[in-house]
Amino acid sequence: METLPPEQLELLKMSFYKEASHSAIAAELGLPMGTVKSRIRLAFAKLRAALEQRA
Amino acid sequence: MTVQVQHHISDELLLAYATGELAEGWSLAVATHLALCPSCRNRLSFMEHAGGEMLELATQETTAETPAGSWDDMKAKISASEPLKKPEVKTAPTQTHPPVLPEPLRSYLGADVGQLKWKALGRGAYHIPIKTADGQTQVRLLKIPAGKPVPEHSHGGRELTLVLKGAFTDGASVFKRGDLEEADESLTHQPVATPEEDCICLAVTDAPLKFQSRLLRILQPILGI
């Protein structure tokens, strides 16, 4: 079973936990918006895949 | 009418909606798409579920001495909890005229499309500005005549377009009822209504549109676009 890479987990934590906007996250982590968006997509793709494997 | 939605909400937009971060105008477009799209409702419920588990995990970490690497625990919990139910496809009660505008959009306009007072935009196009309290977005219902283009424009920021009736094409893609197009400043596009019928769509932007035609830019404040 794969685990989420730390950078993707960090993003989701910031989104859900701190309710930070994606532009605020991008600024805080010093990342371009495109990178933030693609990490979010990757993270949910992995989570969905993990769920489907178990289901 | 069966809705076969092809163009969905992106993960990042849906996540922003789920975490309550979106301004009202964007939320209206997302919520109206959700009303037409069972699969995105399912995705939203998955995200909320994941968010709930994450908060629970964070609470555990602060109260009990859970090992830091409890990401696996969280995933196990998500997987072990009841599988997401397939959304129930409810058969709408038989209506002679099913509404074109789903909620929550219909309440913003106060009526369905038949009873609306459209304002002429020129070139056969019409619109109705929709007021929101967020002060950051510009929201309106657009009616583009069959076969006609929306004037070419790029954006100062994000633009969401949700088709409610008819269809438009934008390059290779066709957007029909329920489809959501997400555009940003990098995209100069030329949506064209398909020839069969007028296209009605909800358009949300976060900055006044930048038209490439100088005449349209001059007329923009007058036309209120």
Q: What are the structural domains, with CATH classification, of chain B?
A: 111-223 (2.60.120.10)
Q: How far is B78 from chain A (nearest CA, A)?
A: 8
A15 touches chain B (CB under 8 A): yes
Cβ partners under 8 Å of residue B31, min gap 6: B17, B104
Helix (H) or strand (E) holding A27: helix A22-29
Residues A47, A53, B3: CA angle, nearest 5 degrees: 70
Reading chain B (225 residues) residue by residue, the pLDDT tens digits are: 556 899 999 999 999 999 888 999 999 999 999 999 999 999 999 898 888 877 777 677 666 554 555 677 777 777 776 666 666 666 655 556 778 999 999 999 998 988 899 999 888 899 999 998 888 888 999 999 999 987 656 566 788 999 999 999 988 899 999 999 998 777 777 889 999 999 999 999 875 656 667 777 777 767 766
ipTM: 0.80
Nearest chain A Cα to B48, which residue?
A: A16
Q: How far is B140 from chain A (nearest CA, A)?
A: 24
Q: What is the pTM of this model?
A: 0.77
Q: Is the pLDDT of residue A33 over 70?
A: yes
CA separation for the pair B150, B52 (Å, rounded) = 42
- The position carrying tokens 């301004």 is B23
CA atoms of A33 and A14, how far apart (whole Å): 14
Chain B environment of A50 (Cβ under 8 Å): 75, 78-79
Which positions in chain A touch B15 (Cβ < 8 Å)?
A: 15, 22, 40, 44
